Amino acid sequence: MSNALGNHILVEFMGCDPHIMNDVSSIERDMVGAAQKAGATVINSTFHHFSPYGVSGVVVIQESHLAIHTWPEYGYAAVDLFTCGEMDAWISFDYLKECFGAKQYSALEMKRGAIQLLTRTDFDLSSMREKATEWRNPEMYTRNVWFTDKDEDQALSLRFTGEVFYDVQSPFQRVRIMESYKYGKMLALDDMVMTTEKDEFHYHEMISHPAMFTHGNAKNILVIGGGDGGTVREILRHEGVEKVTMVEIDDEVIKSCKEFLPNIAAAFDNPKLELLVDDGIAFAKNAAPETYDIIIVDGSDPVGPAEGLFSVSFYQNCYNALKPGGILIAQGESPKFNEKAFSELNFTLRGIFGQENAPVSLFFVPTYPTGMWSFQYGLKDSDHPKKIKNVEEIDAFVEAKGLRYYNSDVHTGSFATPNFVKALLK
Ligand code: SPD
């Protein structure tokens, strides 16, 4: 009989593959695998990714727990293998060493709960038996793997199943399609949620229809970004549209969404669409003056390849490429999450289009940090989108197309500006 309740191995894994150390999904799989390899019964797993670097997680096993904290930038993982009973945690150690590609390692083994120091008091176990039987079923363990989109101070976390359908580092960004429990499959670029199966309609209906109905007769439309295809799908619902040119810089976004998010990437075969895999910033610079009725900038957040989509020169080029009466609409960030980017973009648009010609529309996306998001407009002598004349036409369209977010009330209401937003825009 052992003279201790448990055995604790404190492990230092060094020189590990930094990409693995930053990949919450594969770390969860490896930690659960390490437990199972050693014959443990897994009860549940909880893993979180921290932006930009690091993963923490625990696998609770009937024989105690396995825990990890990683520092990808140092290729380092601190791992605890705490076991009791007959389980040999060194089997888990060997398994993880291989999975993480650790070049160096050290381990400190210590006994926990020295019997000589403890006094035993037995409980009445009869009421606990049913629960204990459940725990013994290894197929029933719960996984808690969390994807977190965050800045330094706040975050949005989605629990995902751990399934990763697509994971490619393109020349521009890491493109992933993962599965979340609540919102279905999700496109993430680097560590930011772009769209999900279950709430994509909020964003895609609101980036498209308010501008289309404000204009009233848009025929030639330019979409910059929007590689998932949701924006062009909505624009092409309008029968009067003659041509949509879409310029997406990253082919991996298009490929991944065509394969795994076909309901969003649903209009790529439409003959009115010209799809260019190219730099949208350069495209706008070279565009012929007064060409487009509407320009839509469906870009990512202002880091990485989308940074230039927030610059003065880019919006000046868009202004030039719009016809008189044309409308620009841009992904405008959040007044509660990226206050600086939100207000700077509005300042830029007011400087180019005029003080009264850069209204902001607010809408709700449950899978973006804070949930409150915006589109920002540049009106080149067009009507103000708040003053809609075609309510019946809008509502008939909404009904016919089965829209789930946009309607004429939402159209007008989205241009109402809360006081704290007004203050940000001063
Ligand atoms: N933080 C998310 C910013 C929105 C980026 N665009 C989403 C693309 C959907 N077509």
The C-alpha atoms of residue 416 and residue 395 are separated, in whole angstroms, by 20
Starting from the edge strand earliest in sequence, which strands make up the sheet with 360-364, in order? 273-277, 243-248, 220-225, 292-298, 322-331, 372-379, 360-364
Which residues partner with 65 through β-bridges? 60, 82
- Answer whether 225's CB lies under 8 Å from 173's CB: no
Signed CA dihedral, 362, 155, 42, 23: sign only? positive
List every span in the chain annotated with CATH 3.60.90.10.
4-117
The C-alpha atoms of residue 227 and residue 17 are separated, in whole angstroms, by 30
Which among 23, 293, 298, 301 is annotated as catalytic? 298
Report the nearest atom of ligand 1 relative to the CA of 194: 7
Mutation pick for ligand 1 pocket among 300, 339, 342, 364 (CB with most ligand atoms within 8 Å): 300
List every span in the chain annotated with CATH 2.30.140.10.
160-196
pLDDT value, residue 202: 98
Q: What would the pLDDT profile of 361-371 be if each residue is shown by its tens digit?
A: 999 999 999 99
Please report, for residues 150, 357, 398, 403, 417, the alpha-carbon distance to residue 322 in angstroms, rounded to integers and kept in the order given: 35, 14, 27, 28, 26
Secondary structure E strands in 346-405: 360-364, 372-379
Strands 76-84 and 104-114: unpaired
Active site residue 298: yes
Mutation pick for ligand 1 pocket among 195, 228, 261, 297 (CB with most ligand atoms within 8 Å): 195
Q: What would the pLDDT profile of 210-266 be if each residue is shown by its tens digit?
A: 999 999 999 999 999 999 999 999 999 999 999 999 999 999 999 999 999 999 999
Q: What would the pLDDT profile of 141-165 be if each residue is shown by its tens digit?
A: 777 888 888 787 888 889 988 889 9
Q: Which fold has domain 200-425?
A: Rossmann fold (3.40.50)
Please report, for residues 5, 34, 344, the alpha-carbon distance to residue 296 in angstroms, rounded to integers and kept in the order given: 64, 48, 18
Expressed in angstroms and rounded, the spacing between residue 89 Cα and the centre of ligand 1 is: 44
Pick the CATH number of 4-117 from 3.50.50.60, 3.40.50.300, 3.60.90.10, 3.30.200.20: 3.60.90.10
Average confidence (pLDDT) over 281-300? 97
Residue whose CA lies nearest to ligand 1 atom number 8: 194
- Does residue 68 surpass a pLDDT of 90? yes
**Who lines ligand 1 at CB under 6 A?**
192, 194-195, 203, 226, 228, 230-231, 298, 300-301, 331, 368
Report the nearest atom of ligand 1 relative to the CA of 228: 10
Report the nearest atom of ligand 1 relative to the CA of 203: 9
Expressed in angstroms and rounded, the spacing between residue 226 Cα and the centre of ligand 1 is: 8
Instruction: State in words which class domain 160-196 has.
Output: mainly beta
pLDDT value, residue 303: 78
Residue-averaged pLDDT of the chain: 93
- Does residue 131 surpass a pLDDT of 70? no
385: three-class secondary structure by DSSP: coil
List every span in the chain annotated with CATH 3.40.50.150.
200-425
